[in-house]
Amino acid sequence: MSYGGYYGPSNENRGPNLRVIGAIIIAVISIAIYSFQTQVNPVTGKTQHIAMSPTEEKTLGLQAAPEMAAKMGGKIDPSRDPRARLVQAVGRRLVERSDASRSEYVDNYNFYLLNDPETINAFALPGGQVFITLGLMEKMTNEAQLAGVLGHEIGHVVGRHSAAQMAKGRLGQLLTLAVGVGASGGDDNGRRAQMAAAMVNQVSQLRFGRADESEADGFGLRYMAQAGYDPSAMLDVMRILKAASGGSRQPEFLATHPLPETRLREIESILAQEYPNGIPENLVKGVRLEGGQPVGR
């Protein structure tokens, strides 16, 4: 009985210790890899944690673009539709006449109008693939509003937000794995610990996403003005998004984007600082749009 009493507890104690050691090793290696994977953004000057090169971003974006487009109605042919041609023209103007031309993606940008009239959205893939849905395009009343949306998405590309999010997501997954390894033991406590870690990782990623959105708004305003567009048109874009939300009041800390009201206030603050005497007359709204169709061009 004395031998049984001795060996039983000893074996039970070894298992948890080995699991904890394994979890610590996974966590330390994951954090070390993330910490050392840094690159300086040539446009912003910021040091970012990024796990891929600009060339890899371009390749990934180009590979993913056809699938992403197919999921949202497919790309509208610019040779047949003036709306798609306008999207291309405004996108290229923003890149060529702004600080975005200093990025490593300058020759890799493509701008697509997606044949999805129901979804109000725009997004960018790593490396310069930029999309806007027909649903959002049809809500706009002038070219400058389109420039605001595309400038925002160009800002995501220049800021390398997708690549940075992927690096953070990979770190979060590995740390969640480490918690699961350390807490595993076949009981509910271990499973709950892993679920809690996964939730913390998800919420932390949402926070970073909101910061990226605010930074992209700042880029968009700058690129609009540099390309000759009235940056106050971005306020109209926020009002369009606010109306499209249908009055939904999802808690902001659980949203992937800042609420339109928040972005409106931030944009108003930036415009007041940059243009205390009002928007210069040389910054224009561009052609008028009706149902997304350019009028007078």
Question: Mean per-residue pLDDT for 125-142?
Answer: 93
- Taking residue 235's Cβ as centre, other Cβ atoms within 10 Å add up to 16
Give the per-residue pLDDT at 275. 95
Confidence of residue 92 (pLDDT cuts 50, 70, 90): very high
Question: Mean per-residue pLDDT for 222-242?
Answer: 94
Q: What are the respective helix, strand and coil percentages of the chain, to the nearest 5? A: 60, 10, 30
Give the per-residue pLDDT at 208. 44
Higher per-residue confidence, 261 vs 231: 231
First to last CA, the chain: 95
Confidence of residue 121 (pLDDT cuts 50, 70, 90): confident
pLDDT tens digits for 255-275? Answer: 456 667 788 899 999 999 999
Does the pTM surpass 0.85? The reply is no
Give the per-residue pLDDT at 192. 52
- Domain-located, residue 85: yes
For the cut 70, the answer to whether the pLDDT of residue 108 exceeds it is yes
Give the per-residue pLDDT at 203. 44
- Domain-located, residue 280: yes
Q: How far apart are CA 231 and CA 147, in angstroms?
A: 9
From the centroid of its chain, how far is CA 84? 23
Give the per-residue pLDDT at 7. 44
Give the per-residue pLDDT at 199. 44
Confidence of residue 30 (pLDDT cuts 50, 70, 90): low
Give the per-residue pLDDT at 287. 95
**Per-chain mean pLDDT for the chain:** 78
Give the sign of the dihedral formed by CA 283, CA 287, CA 288, CA 294: negative
- Domain-located, residue 101: yes
Three-class SS state of 124: strand
- Domain-located, residue 99: yes
Higher per-residue confidence, 236 vs 32: 236
For the cut 80, the answer to whether the pLDDT of residue 222 exceeds it is yes
- Domain-located, residue 65: yes
Question: Are the beta carbons of 278 and 131 closer than 8 angstroms?
Answer: no
Give the per-residue pLDDT at 178. 55
Give the per-residue pLDDT at 17. 64
291 lies in which domain range?
40-295
Q: CB neighbours of 265 closer than 8 A, spacing ≥ 6?
A: none
Question: Mean per-residue pLDDT for 165-177?
Answer: 61
- Domain-located, residue 196: yes
- Full DSSP string of 181-217: HHH-SSSHHHHHHHHHHHHHHHHHHHHHHHHHHHHHH
Question: Mean per-residue pLDDT for 46-67?
Answer: 82
**One-letter amino acid of 11:** N
Structurally, the chain folds into a number of domains equal to 1
Q: How far apart are CA 10 and CA 7, in angstroms?
A: 5
Q: CB neighbours of 13 closer than 8 A, spacing ≥ 6?
A: none
Give the per-residue pLDDT at 175. 53
Task: Provide the token pair at 216.
Answer: 């992209």
Share of the chain above pLDDT 90, in %: 40
Residue whose token pair is 């910061």: 211
Higher per-residue confidence, 36 vs 252: 36
- Domain-located, residue 8: no
Q: How far apart are CA 114 and CA 75, in angstroms?
A: 5
**One-letter amino acid of 27:** A
- Taking residue 39's Cβ as centre, other Cβ atoms within 10 Å add up to 17
Q: How far apart are CA 277 and CA 60, in angstroms?
A: 44
- Domain-located, residue 6: no
Give the per-residue pLDDT at 3. 42
Say how many CA atoms lie within 13 Å of 196 toward its Cβ.
Answer: 8
